[in-house]
Structure formats: C-alpha cells, structure tokens
Structure 1
Amino acid sequence: MNELGDFLRARRQGLDPVAAGLPLPGGRRRVNGLRREEVAQLASISPDFYARLEQGRRRASEPVLAALAQVLHLNDDERRYLFELAGKETGRASAQEQKVQPELQRLLDDFTYVPAIVLGSYTTILGWNPLAAALYLDFGRYPPSERNFLWLLLREPYFRKLYVDWEDMTRGCVEQVRMEAARRPDDPRLADLIARLSPVDANFRRWWADHGVAAHSVGTKLFRHPVVGDLSLQWSNLVSAFEPDQQLVTLTAEPGTPSHIGLRRLAAG
C-alpha cells in the first residue's frame, strides 16, 4: 500500500486550481484538480521528484512536506496526518523564537544617522532603528510572520519601487537564504518560509529552483526614496559574536555626498 501517495493524489485532485494560486485556465481542463507538474511547480520541487513521491519511490524532508501542505491547503489535522504518513514526528514549527540580542539592540539605539536592522535566521527581521524605518518602512506594522526581509522584497510593492536594482537584490537574497539552508535543511523556520512563498510568488519559485547560492557581506545598494530622492548606500553585515545566527546590517554613505546629506535629512524627519 502507498498511503502517502494516495493521500497526496486525492488532495491534489480535489483542489480548485484557481484557489491554489494558478491563473485562470484558457480552455477546459481535462483533469480534476491539480496536475502533478502544477503541484511540483507551486512547491518548488522537480516534477520527477513529486511523481516518485506519489509513487512511493522517494522520501520527503520536512521542508518539502511543509511546502506540499501549504500548496494543497491542508488543515491542521490533514497536515499532521501527512507528516505521520511520511514518518515525521510533527508538522509544526517548534524552533525557539529568536529575539534580538541586547548588545545589538543598544547599537541600534545609538545609530542616529545610520539605518540599521538586525536579521535572524533566513532574513527574519528582529530589530530596527528609527532611521531604518524611515528609509524602508515601519516593520512593526507587519505581523511577525511577514516580518522577514525576503518576504517583504517579494510581497511588499513598496520595496519594488524603493530598490533601483530590485531584481538583482531580491534574487541575491533568495540565494543567500539557500546558502544558509545548507547548514540546517530541516529547520522548521525555513520550511515555513518556503511553504508560504512558493504558492504565491512565481519569482521565488523560479529563483529557488535555480539553486543559485551566494554569501554577501558588503556591497552598494541604490534606493529611490519618495522623500529624499536617490541614495547610493554602502551596506555591511556584521555577525554577532554572541549569537552567530544574528547579523547587524548597516547602511552608510560617504561624508559630503548627496546620499550622506539625504540620510541626514531623513534622520531630521
């Protein structure tokens, strides 16, 4: 018997394609629900892998199961059942919640003219200072599940306008998350991020499937800010000695340049 494959097949065949996030079909579909290829695309896995999974010839990791649960719109009981069929203990994220280290928070508070944020695992936004809120937006307006830099790059329209090089920036962020994922491929926080982004964002599905990796720590970013205009800012990632999974990201400008003056204007409100 192949209970896991039968369960996946039944759920995909009973799911409305439009509700799953697929575009309205141009013609009449010959199959009920989703095709295997469509489930694989939405879950950011290969069609061959998904076919073998349904056939009982492959095993799935927790991130893959979490992505499939999201794509197939499983409720809590169905999600738990999916993980049990796959031989996993749980389908819920159990990692300890990250909080910004006090030492990093003090640095944030002291940076008057330097926009700065603290990122945790997989670009989770843990802390920010007022100038970062003025440069980007008030991260506190977003629920914790959306307080993630990659999520905002992909899903917040304002970020597309703010970054002159939005596509390069966002793809680089995806590559950095995949690089980080190699250290903890079964981290439930990673599984949750992939599961939420894959069904709703075609760019993420495409870039994640490319398997590009990068580890950036310095660079220049170009902003087109609605209040102070164009800014060319140098960013740096400083890893915390107290908590290696937390990074302090700062943005600075050469003194006397229009970008430096623009940051001062922004800080003055």
Structure 2
Amino acid sequence: MADHTELRDFLTSRRARLTPPEVGLPWHTDGRRVAGLRREEIAVLAGVSVDYYTRLEQGRARNVSDQVLDAVAAALRLDVLERRHLFDLVRTTGRPSGSAPPPPAATAGPRLRARPALHALLRSLDPTPAVLHGPRLEVVAINRMGRILIDDFDAMPVAERNMARWMFLDPKAREVYPDWEEIAEQTVAILRVTAGRDTRDPALSALVGELSTRSDEFARHWANYRVFQHTYGTKRFRHPAVGEMVLSYETLHPAADSEFHLTVYSAAEGSPSEERMRILSSWSATPPDTAGSADGDGGAVDTSFPGVRDRSRTGSPDDRR
C-alpha cells in the first residue's frame, strides 16, 4: 500500500461520488471525462490553486496545513470519520522516508499478546460474549460465549485468527451473520481506517493482498474506499441451535492498551434474544473458562451441546414450542 496511492485513490473516490449541482456549481455540458467533480472544481471550492490541489491529491504536497485540509474536507463533503482518515493519510504521506510511523511499536508485529488482566476481564464477562481485537482485526482473545456465538478462534491456526480473514474465507461467517454483506463491507472499511494510520504496515499489506487475491468480494469493497469505525450498534446473529438473535455491541478501548479493541455483545432485557442467549449458555455449561485466549493460551469450547458443530439443525426452541 504505497502512501501516495492511498491518498490519491481516496480523494479521487470521494470527488467521484459528487456532482456539480450537489456542491452549488453549474454542470457544464462540455464532454466531461471523469465521474463526479474535477480537480479544478474541488480547488475552487477549497480556495486553493488547481496546481496545489493536484499535488495534494498525488501525495506531492508537503507541510499541508490543517486549514487547507479542513477546506478540502468541506469541499468533498467528508463526514467526521472520513475527515480524520484524510488527515491520517496526509500525515502518513508526508513522513520522510524511513521515519517511524505514528502507531506505537507494539503494533508493528503480526501477533499481539494481551496482558493477563485483559484475559481475566474477558472471562469475568462471560456469559456475555466478548472479543478482544488488534488493530488489523486480529482476534487476540475471545471468551467462552464469544466462541459459541461467533466461532472457536482458539481452535484455528494462529495465522487464521483474524476477523477479516474469517469473514471472507470461512463459509461459517455467512451462517453466523444473516446480514453478511453489510457486516463484510464494514469489516473492510475498518481495515481502511487502519491503513490510513500507517500505509507502510507490512502485516496489513500482506493481509489485504491475500484477501484481495482470494476474495473478489473483499477486492470490490476495498476498492470503494469506505471508512467505518466499530463503535456501537446492533447486529443479527444466527445460531443453528436457537435461531436468530439481535444483539447490541459496544466497542471499548483499554486506556493502557490503545491498540486493542474490546467488543462486548448483549441482548435487550426480556427479549427473545436474551432467552436464546440464556439457553445457549446453559447448554454449553462447562468448567470455568481457564483462558478464552486466541493466542494459544486457552482451551476450546465444549462442543457437546446441540448446534455448536452440528450445523444441520436449524430453528430455535421458541419456534418449536
């Protein structure tokens, strides 16, 4: 992921989605050769010269002021997350060759290890599903109920314990998420944000390269240059033993370990989803989860109860009453 290419393609994609009337400019019928707005039109809206905007888009501008970036973001109608992504890309592009990237050194390697206290936190949250991710969506740790709800990442080879990789290369992801297309698009958009913070990350480049080669759907979403932040919301899950559930999620960032993202899932009180989650938890009752770690420190989920490995069963207890 070359720095200047990331910046150029992002800005090109953002101006391609706009039309002159949308930004208060006349639509000239002079044989427009590009989709959306021209560089000249963005330059006019941002109050900079065409040459300067061209150099910015090509990654050749240096020491770009926040005022200019704010003007360009406004001209392109960027939302808050897209604006932040633009700032990240410009700062990354503007680093001297060989300089250290902004993220902490702990994120440089392909594997991350969480502190024992974080593993203990995940265990204490059970039976609430919880997953600890790294910046590239590595599944660093997952608790018992998380393995039951999503998948048993502890049983996978270390190299495969990545949510994006699982989403596009493991057929089970489409069974777990009824809205797979939407979740898959968001997954790629999360990686876009990470790429903007360090376009020289070799581990992320390798992941994107593998998924782009092995999944046409990933490649299509990657080319859209959408950005997304997994903060809070709702998702639908499907489990072969109990059927569909609607769960809320919250993503937290440990203050001392900012490279990690802790996502916790919960069902609304008194809802059918809460009852189904309770059933899943009781059916899977096992001795205390002694690790819940996706980095090789823990045990696997008990698969003796209906539905964890037997994917042929469908429907839910509610449906059979």
TM-score by length of 1: 0.64
Shift of 1:263: 1.0
State the number of aligned residues.
Answer: 181
SS of 1:233's equivalent? strand
Whether the 8 Å contact between 1:112 and 1:267 is mirrored in structure 2 is: no
Whether the 8 Å contact between 1:176 and 1:214 is mirrored in structure 2 is: yes
Shift of 1:96: 6.4
**Which AA in structure 1 matches 2:269?**
P
Task: Answer yes or no: is 1:174 the counterpart of 2:193.
Answer: no
SS of 1:190's equivalent? helix
Task: Answer yes or no: is 1:251 the counterpart of 2:265.
Answer: yes
Shift of 1:176: 0.9
- The ranges of structure 1 where at least 4 consecutive aligned residues each deviate by more than 3 angstroms after the TM superposition are none
SS of 1:127's equivalent? strand
Shift of 1:101: 2.6
Aligned partners of 1:224, 1:251: CA distance in 2, in Å? 14
Shift of 1:94: 6.5
Aligned partners of 2:200, 2:261: CA distance in 1, in Å? 21
2:112 alignment counterpart:
98
Aligned partners of 2:110, 2:210: CA distance in 1, in Å? 19
Aligned partners of 2:149, 2:110: CA distance in 1, in Å? 30
Aligned partners of 2:142, 2:179: CA distance in 1, in Å? 22
Aligned partners of 2:109, 2:138: CA distance in 1, in Å? 13
Aligned partners of 1:214, 1:94: CA distance in 2, in Å? 22
**Which AA in structure 1 matches 2:150?**
Y
1:264 alignment counterpart:
278
Aligned partners of 1:209, 1:227: CA distance in 2, in Å? 37
Give deviations 1:133-178, integer Å, cap 9, x for gaps. 1111211121111100011111110110111110000101100110
Task: Answer yes or no: is 1:145 the counterpart of 2:159.
Answer: yes
SS of 1:122's equivalent? coil
Task: Answer yes or no: is 1:156 the counterpart of 2:207.
Answer: no
Q: 1:120 aligns with which of 117, 131, 134?
A: 134
State the structure with more CA Rg.
2
Whether the 8 Å contact between 1:116 and 1:128 is mirrored in structure 2 is: yes
Aligned partners of 1:258, 1:231: CA distance in 2, in Å? 8
Shift of 1:107: 1.2
Whether the 8 Å contact between 2:129 and 2:266 is mirrored in structure 1 is: yes
Give deviations 1:217-269, integer Å, cap 9, x for gaps. 00100012101111000011101111111011110011111111111111112
